[in-house]
Amino acid sequence: MKRVVISTAKAPAAIGPYSQAVKAGNTLYISGQIGLDPTTMQIVNGGVTGQARQVLKNFGEVLKAANCTFDNVVKTTVLLKRSSSSCCV
């Protein structure tokens, strides 16, 4: 199966040993998106809600780089530091 690494400067660079996204066959795996502004590499203001909005912006840019849209998304996993934050995401 062909494996292609996807990256874009319009989303934060990976800050660990992973890629923004990897396409394996017809499946795209996106990982490591947090509420970072890609130009400053700083966590955005606005608390959990502001960070969630930024994650979705970053996610969208990675999707675009892979010629995909949110319509192509089948599954997401959201990890929160506190379960009480789930109301804000």
CB-hemisphere CA count at 13 Å for 35?
15
CATH of domain 3-80: 3.30.1330.40
Distance CA 30, CA 10 (A): 14
Interval 42-56 mean pLDDT: 95
Average pLDDT, the chain: 93
Of 49, 48, 55, 51, which is closest to residue 32 (Cα–Cα)? Answer: 55
| Burial grade of 56 (CB within 10 A; 0-12, 13-18, 19 or more) | middle
pLDDT digits (tens, 9 = 90+) for 24-35: 999 999 998 999
Domain map (residue ranges) of the chain: 3-80
Query: What confidence score (pLDDT) does residue 15 get?
Result: 86
